[in-house]
Amino acid sequence: MSNSAFLNWTHARHGRISGTDPASLTPRLGEAANLLGLELAAGRLPFIDMPYADGMTARLQELEPLLRRFEHMVVLGIGGSALGARALQKAFFPAQDRPAHTGPWLWIADNVDADSLEAWLQSLPAEKTVVVVISKSGGTIETIGQYFLIRDWLRTARGDAWTNHVIAVTDERSGFLREEADTHGLASMPVPDHLGGRYSVLSAVGLIPAAFTGMDWQALVRGAKTVGAPLCSSPDAATLGAHPAWHLAAWNHALMQAGYSQLIFFSYMPLWAHFGFWFAQLWAESLGKEGKGSMPLPAVGVTDQHSTQQMFLDGPRDKACLFLTCSSLPQGRTFPGDMPPKWDFLRGRRFGDLLEAEALGTRMALHKTGTPLVEIGMAQPSEEQAGRLMALLEITTLLTGWLLDINPLDQPAVELGKRLANARLGAPGYDTETADLGAFLAAQGSRQEF
């Protein structure tokens, strides 16, 4: 069986981008290659060359005996500190969602959800629980708020031994969590410099939970490095121009230029459905700037054939599609031979044949309604292949941002909401935001009950 994932471009240049010439971006190729070389040399693209991989691998191998002492892991993180870990959990540790599971157990606290947090603190055995608190800056208020409450819970239950139950994943040199780790002797792993949260899944951020649940986390890293390796060894125009990430970026640039404002991520790999939510943050937070970008729409096959697909097929013609498939998924049981005559056509077929047929039907339906579509075909549903997919989408996102003439590595609009929330809670140093909040709350309006 081939170990190669692929992009199927057969129905990509369709609708309003029919006949679009990929060579139209050739003048930008040299510019992008030069920028890529400069940024790699400066160490500002660690999700591509992964210079931290050897040190991270050694440290994570040291931590594995500690992780095996526990039955429960609680991950405190939000956004990029949680979405990748959850995608990997759902893809490669589905046992926790199934009957008769006996552990280990991974709980991801990725929201301000007092009910769930209280349930964990009431029910989890502290002596069998390890807590991973993740914040690059050490100042993410949602995560640090959870940490204060869980730290108090651990102190009450474990006394001075509470420090044996916490792993901090944060900046190597500065920030509140670094201070906590240094002061209390907490186990810790760094978030590498220049590695933003939405690009961090294949660092300690996503790989500590992966190791805890028994995934082949080293295969995830190998897969990602395979995709980035050509660009790291020869970041020139010829290499970049042949790379699938450049082709995907050029396609997306053409789509946006033609008014396709939404990008469906349609997963016909059921266990990989949460990769769509991980991709949504990566794409939206990287590219939604200066009135530019396209809206990512996670969709799950076949579930959303009975839901949002009505809009995809018969709504506004503003959507393109990345279509995730795998030809080597488990096929399940064979249909029995004593079905009613109406269903005779299923006799002798496997349950998985339905997924393949429905995926083909959806692809063709999207094509017939004018939707540009690229199929992403995975060779196997393995960790190595997942690493390839994540690296491809990260590099594609970076290059698409450059073609849009924006910075795909920052998130300025997100920071505004954080500042306003801090002001609302009374944090010092937010005078402007406090005044803005006062004006917003004082506005005269109306309410309608229902």
Least Cα distance to 256 among 109, 405, 382, 368 occurs for 405
- 296 has which bridge partners? 263
Q: Which of 39, 285, 375, 433 is catalytic?
A: 285
What whole-number distance in Å separates Cα of residue 66 and Cα of residue 60?
Answer: 10
Active site residue 225: no
First to last CA, the chain: 59
DSSP annotation string for 70-119: -SEEEEE--GGGTHHHHHHHHHH-GGGGSTT--S-EEEEE-S--HHHHHH
What whole-number distance in Å separates Cα of residue 367 and Cα of residue 8?
Answer: 13
- Residues with Cβ within 8 Å of 62's Cβ and at least 6 positions away in sequence, in order, are none
Report which residue type is found at 289: K
- Residues with Cβ within 8 Å of 305's Cβ and at least 6 positions away in sequence, in order, are 358, 362
Q: Which of 306, 342, 368, 449 is catalytic?
A: 306
Least Cα distance to 88 among 384, 447, 394, 429 occurs for 384
Whether 31 contacts 405, CB under 8 Å = no
* Residue located via tokens 């208020």: 141
Interhelix angle 383-403/244-257, rounded to 10 degrees, is 50
* Catalytic center residues: 285, 306, 418
